[in-house]
Structure 1
Amino acid sequence: MGEKPTIALISPSDSAKMCVAESLFNLFAADVKTLDMVKLSANWMAPAGQPGEGKALYEAVQAIGLELCPELGISIPVGKDSMSMKMSWDKKEVVAPMSLVITAFAGVHDTSKTWTPVLQRKEDTVLAYVDLAAKVSKSLGGSALAQVYNQVGNAAPGVHDAKLLKGFLNALIQLHGESTVLAYHDVSDGGLIVTLLEMAFAGRSGLTIDIKSKEDPLTALFNEELGAVFQIKKSDYSKFVSVLASHGVSEDFVSVVGTPVFDLKQEIKVSVNGEEVLGNTRAKLQQTWSLTSYNIQKLRDNPQAAEQEFQAIADNHDPGLTYKLAFDPTDDLAISTLTTRPKVAILREQGVNGQQEMAWCFKQAGFDSIDVHMSDIISGKVSLDEFVGLAACGGFSYGDVLGAGNGWAKSVLYNDRARSEFSKFFQTRKDTFAFGACNGCQFLSKIKSLIPGTENWPSFERNRSEQYEARVCTLEIVDENTDTPLIFLDGMRGSRIPIAVAHGEGRVEFHGDNVQKQFIDDGLVAARYVDNYGIPTEKYPFNPNGSPEGITGIRTPNGRVLAMMPHPERVARLESNSYYPEEAEQWGGYGPWIRLFRNARKWVAENETK
């Protein structure tokens, strides 16, 4: 994405060009195949008819439609416009300035080679700054710093040399193939100092920065001219510079501005031309950076959750996301030798949206995934007799208008045909299994009257944070001395694995303390949220919904039914994980959660031989 509305107040043409450039800087963090494959979508917004706004729009369209994009060799085949950006009421009129939002898209070679701003904990690395405006006089116009002081400015940053920009983008394509870059962040919002700090925040590191500049410190640190920061090994610096130079970006545009520091102090020291202008800790600066969001969060959401998240920023010992596996992710449990593909009903209802990922996971594990809508069962078109398993998918059945999973459950409980189908599946047959994720988990908990052994199952209520939570958390597969089978989680006990979370109503609620105690004593907890130290927690954001004792996965005594609020199906493909360790490259393209689905296939195979 690229957007620079503030610059449009100074120069509509520069704003449009910078929108295109920003979108390309963001896009080329991925392993884009070629520049000429890139396509843009332009969303134009302007108050048509207002004095001067037609002229501004014309200048902006000309700047990218007739100048920059043709020079780069890319096109804008799609877009939209909103030409009524004006509001009048009570004799007052508010006019929005001309603005543009660019969306860039292209095919990529390898998604695993996408660069992120997270500083890598590698020895002997440096931070290289590629400044595409190194030979021009820089401006603070339209910058975040100017906005802090309620100013706009008279001169704006811009694309000063389209040929240089094109060469830089082509160099990024080659650098992806060289495996030289460890981290990357473009200098687009906030300037060089904000870019460096954001990389430190993401990597939980300190910094030692010394910037050489012909500009005054404020301009050097906060101008938002085109540029990017790269983390590379010292030994790769000459190769890095050579690749850039081969595409027309000479060493004059490249400089080493500092190094990341990985220690417990996490101190950040910034100097400009040898004079220190900033000295503080990562924790203090990140809390300052987060302060506005924190104060809004305290008013809008649960203030206790806001406080817990804010205080977690200051923990220098936090190891971050980690994997602790009690099994070998490459072990396919011999399912590749099986010759049959049992049918699994990939069950969904109106509003459910997670069926594709769920179907993929079961297919990878040796099942035949069949799309089954609740209307198929209610009408009698499909019978659950055809299936050995069912998977209730995530999403928002009936928009969660009746509460999480309630509408979906009612379509079973109050329909004779559907109720009979599910009763037989859970109660009469002994060869079946069921898995529910997120909304599917809520659905199963609402029809627990049809599932043997679920009398003490909890319900899933509104998150304590008072917000819909979409994030990555860590689950621990409960490791307790119990003889009850896990089936889905066989061999995974004690593992701690990051997982995707996306729900607004996932807080476990038991109807009585004795019920919760009995549930735990019966060994029906399958998984808990843990913090980054591996300790079961109720603290936000490690436990995103406030469930007691971190409980988020529940099961039946016979292990045939598993329900969990997080989404293992969304991260069973390795590249779907936002983080994984280097050794994961040997996992054959799968994340650890594929084991859950393989376990189900193994159990079916074992049942077939009995």
Structure 2
Amino acid sequence: MLPYHGSYESYCGEAMAIGERTTVALLDGPASARMAIAESLTNIMASSIAKISDIKLSANWMAPAGHPGEDAVLYDTVKTVGMEICPQLGLTIPVGKDSMSMKTVWKDGEVDKAVTAPLSLVITAFSPVTDVRKTLTPQIRTDIEDTGLLLIDLGFGNNRLGGSALAQTYKQIGDVPPDVDDASQLKAFFDVFQKLNTQGKFIAWHDRSDGGLFACICEMAFAGHCGLNVQLDSMLIDNDSDAISVLFNEEVGGVLQVKCDDVQDIEAAFAEVGLADCVHELGRIYEDDQSTINNNGLPLFSASRVSLQQAWSETSYHMQLLRDNPESAQQEFDAIAENDVGLSVKLSFDINEDIAMPYINKGIRPDVAILREQGVNGQIEMAAAFDRAGFNAIDVHMSDIINGDLDFERFKGLVACGGFSYGDVLGAGEGWAKSILFNSRARDVFENYFNREDTFSLGVCNGCQMMANLKSLIPGAEHWPHFVKNNSEQFEGRFSLVEVMESPSILMQGMAGSIMPIAVAHGEGRAEYKSTEQRQSAKSIMRFVNHDLQTTQAYPLNPNGSPDGLTGFCNEDGRATIMMPHPERVFRAVQHSWYPDEWQEDSPWMRMFRNARAFTE
């Protein structure tokens, strides 16, 4: 039996976050290390962590050892990390690495040349998470009434601009960098943050780091597709020039979205731990697209979310134009200007109905083969989904078949999993199929299985590509397409919206007409047909749709560029199903990066696995 260690039954998890402040090291090495640790904490604290000592740090040191002055800076920086701030916070660093050769020298003719990189410390924080459902994101929620924003400023009004992104835009470094002046305040902030988040007082959180407060609130607005009305009055600004330092300093802190009714309780909780002066009310959220920053009732800045997000995305867009398919890059950039309503769900069935329960209650668990090849990594979650649906999931490797150690006689289900088979080289699924087609024993085992009328089969991702190349062995699958490189010319890892279509697939029974999000992770997912007749004859089971719930060809809502958005197929009698998206990665509601508040334990994709259990009866 394939074990999955219960990780698909609990709400515990783990979190990782990174912090770095390399530019600050040009001004103050120890300050850069303290800020890197602080940034890792303000990132990871969005997760539900029982206590700060549960967090462990990995330290990646880089320095030009031997360069004048750098050895002393490195010593002071290591000292402040190992003997000062980490003990003060109760943190340990059990692992790390170093690169002490961050300098290169060479001769250009008679001229000596050198490039020296500054001291750099990259901190990776990792921790167990007590309840992943309480994880906060930067997405502003516009569906919750009467909310506002709070700035948590652990710089306590210092607003130091040294080493900031703003300084760099003026080709400067600055003079005085931000710092962690009192580690006990950072620890108190972490503790009160976790307490209030456990009580459900927070809606969204984004730390203030690269770009400062201005970048922080803009990114929150981009995620929420909304505008903001920000007031800077509470930060005691005497004149408009001070607004620059307030908006662009990169001191420790961040922005919270909270219910207005909870503001008084939140401020009281911060005051209890000596942090009353770090909480500032910023203002409200607009459902229209305009963001305005005010001081003492006068507007300092106003712009639309679209114009700001396009400016924010422009560098990435120009890189994509050179690196990716330019047409895909253009479509993604143009989509920023569209009135996107975001993800939604439309179901044709009861998400909480367990149609497999009567059969599970019999105590009979049919065997399902969870098939994998070298490099496949999706077998554990696939086994967990089928186990929950009432199957006995058995780990089967291709070597078991080729060596003659196993056949499929005992199995009612056969599932070819995805995730980097053969290191995800181009055509990996096709290579997997050829290891079957060109091996007489393996070919017979698969062909005999597919011809049994009491079995079902499923191929996902690499497994989809593999089974599509086995269509000569699968009755009624002759019209299946071939799967080739995505139109974007890149691997696509996304959370996409699909519509389930009417089809004979035994896995999709009762789900037709449903629209719901699903995980996508593939580099070769575009369906390719030899002819129009093949395209029209293929039995389609699902297609990508846009956020207006219409079939889409546009990137990135159709991540691979498949014609008509079609991304899943079945054979004539519905017993064999293939699809590019990963339903096994989202069979629980909590696995989704977004889902409606009313969803409980199951996601709609659990119905697919229970349909398989019902079929075996």
Counterpart amino acid of residue 43 in structure 2: N
| 2:78 equivalent among 43, 61, 68 | 61
Task: Work out whether 1:32 is the aligned partner of 2:49.
Answer: yes
| 1:374 equivalent among 366, 390, 398 | 398
Which residue does the alignment assign to 2:271?
Answer: 245
Task: Work out whether 1:139 is the aligned partner of 2:163.
Answer: no
Which residue does the alignment assign to 2:511?
Answer: 492
SS state of the match for residue 530, structure 2?
Answer: coil
SS state of the match for residue 313, structure 1?
Answer: helix
Counterpart amino acid of residue 245 in structure 1: A
Task: Work out whether 1:286 is the aligned partner of 2:309.
Answer: yes
Counterpart amino acid of residue 541 in structure 1: P
Counterparts of 1:8 and 1:214, CA distance in 2: 30
Counterpart amino acid of residue 435 in structure 1: L
Counterpart amino acid of residue 141 in structure 1: G
Which residue does the alignment assign to 1:194?
Answer: 215
Compared CA separation, residues 391 and 89, structure 1 to 2 (3 A): farther
Compared CA separation, residues 308 and 209, structure 1 to 2 (3 A): same
Task: Work out whether 1:508 is the aligned partner of 2:527.
Answer: yes
- The CA deviation at 1:593 is 0.9
TM-score (norm 1): 0.94
Which residue does the alignment assign to 1:130?
Answer: 152
- The CA deviation at 1:508 is 0.5
| 2:352 equivalent among 309, 321, 330 | 330
Counterpart amino acid of residue 557 in structure 2: F
Which residue does the alignment assign to 1:577?
Answer: 592
1:112-261 mapped onto 2 (5 Å cutoff): 112-121=133-142, 122-135=144-157, 137-212=158-233, 213-214=235-236, 216-250=242-276, 252-261=277-286
Which residue does the alignment assign to 1:48?
Answer: 65
- The CA deviation at 1:402 is 5.1
Counterpart amino acid of residue 257 in structure 2: Q
Counterparts of 1:443 and 1:180, CA distance in 2: 48
- The CA deviation at 1:400 is 3.7
Counterparts of 1:602 and 1:87, CA distance in 2: 66
Counterparts of 2:287 and 2:426, CA distance in 1: 49
Counterparts of 2:333 and 2:296, CA distance in 1: 34
SS state of the match for residue 206, structure 2?
Answer: strand
Counterparts of 2:80 and 2:610, CA distance in 1: 55
Counterparts of 2:27 and 2:575, CA distance in 1: 64
Please list the CA deviations of residues 414-461 of structure 1 after superposition, one character each: whole Å capped at 9, or x if unmatched: 00110000010012x111111111111000001111111111110011
SS state of the match for residue 552, structure 1?
Answer: strand
SS state of the match for residue 106, structure 1?
Answer: strand
| 1:536 equivalent among 545, 551, 561 | 551
- The CA deviation at 1:214 is 4.5
- The CA deviation at 1:93 is 2.1
| 1:412 equivalent among 416, 436, 439 | 436
| 2:122 equivalent among 65, 85, 101 | 101
Counterparts of 1:59 and 1:553, CA distance in 2: 58
Counterparts of 1:112 and 1:77, CA distance in 2: 28
Q: Is the Cα–Cα contact under 8 Å of residues 500 and 508 in structure 2 kept in the other structure?
A: yes
Which residue does the alignment assign to 1:342?
Answer: 366
Counterparts of 2:66 and 2:296, CA distance in 1: 49
Counterparts of 2:236 and 2:207, CA distance in 1: 21
Counterpart amino acid of residue 523 in structure 2: G
SS state of the match for residue 280, structure 2?
Answer: strand
Q: Is the Cα–Cα contact under 8 Å of residues 386 and 392 in structure 2 kept in the other structure?
A: yes
Percent identity between matched residues is 51
Counterpart amino acid of residue 534 in structure 2: V
- The CA deviation at 1:220 is 1.0
| 1:262 equivalent among 279, 284, 287 | 287
Compared CA separation, residues 89 and 368, structure 1 to 2 (3 A): farther
Counterparts of 1:271 and 1:338, CA distance in 2: 66
Task: Work out whether 1:547 is the aligned partner of 2:555.
Answer: no
- The CA deviation at 1:304 is 1.2
Which residue does the alignment assign to 1:566?
Answer: 581
Which residue does the alignment assign to 1:23?
Answer: 40
Counterparts of 2:509 and 2:616, CA distance in 1: 13
Q: Is the Cα–Cα contact under 8 Å of residues 207 and 259 in structure 1 kept in the other structure?
A: yes
1:401-550 mapped onto 2 (5 Å cutoff): 401=425, 403-427=427-451, 429-479=452-502, 485-519=504-538, 524-550=539-565
Counterpart amino acid of residue 444 in structure 2: S
Q: Is the Cα–Cα contact under 8 Å of residues 361 and 569 in structure 1 kept in the other structure?
A: yes
Please list the CA deviations of residues 29-63 of structure 1 after superposition, one character each: whole Å capped at 9, or x if unmatched: 00110112221111111121222111111111111
Deviates more, 1:557-566 or 1:397-406: 397-406
Give the unaligned 5+ runs of structure 1.
Answer: 606-610
Counterparts of 2:419 and 2:264, CA distance in 1: 49
Deviates more, 1:252-261 or 1:538-547: 252-261
- The CA deviation at 1:64 is 1.5
Q: Is the Cα–Cα contact under 8 Å of residues 130 and 253 in structure 1 kept in the other structure?
A: yes
Which residue does the alignment assign to 1:608?
Answer: none
Q: Is the Cα–Cα contact under 8 Å of residues 58 and 94 in structure 2 kept in the other structure?
A: yes
- The CA deviation at 1:273 is 4.2
Counterparts of 2:469 and 2:104, CA distance in 1: 47
SS state of the match for residue 512, structure 2?
Answer: coil
Q: Is the Cα–Cα contact under 8 Å of residues 72 and 162 in structure 1 kept in the other structure?
A: yes
Q: Is the Cα–Cα contact under 8 Å of residues 356 and 610 in structure 2 kept in the other structure?
A: no
SS state of the match for residue 405, structure 1?
Answer: helix
Which residue does the alignment assign to 1:83?
Answer: 100
Which residue does the alignment assign to 1:298?
Answer: 321
Counterparts of 2:39 and 2:296, CA distance in 1: 28
Please list the CA deviations of residues 258-308 of structure 1 after superposition, one character each: whole Å capped at 9, or x if unmatched: 111113xx1111123444222111111111111111111112111111111
Counterpart amino acid of residue 125 in structure 1: T
Counterparts of 1:467 and 1:149, CA distance in 2: 34
Counterpart amino acid of residue 34 in structure 1: K
Counterparts of 2:471 and 2:107, CA distance in 1: 56
Which residue does the alignment assign to 2:30?
Answer: 13
SS state of the match for residue 583, structure 1?
Answer: coil
SS state of the match for residue 582, structure 1?
Answer: coil
Task: Work out whether 1:591 is the aligned partner of 2:603.
Answer: yes
Counterparts of 1:190 and 1:591, CA distance in 2: 37
Counterpart amino acid of residue 535 in structure 2: Q
SS state of the match for residue 278, structure 1?
Answer: strand
Counterparts of 1:456 and 1:319, CA distance in 2: 36
Counterpart amino acid of residue 376 in structure 2: V
- The CA deviation at 1:75 is 1.3
Q: Is the Cα–Cα contact under 8 Å of residues 170 and 247 in structure 1 kept in the other structure?
A: no
- The CA deviation at 1:576 is 1.3
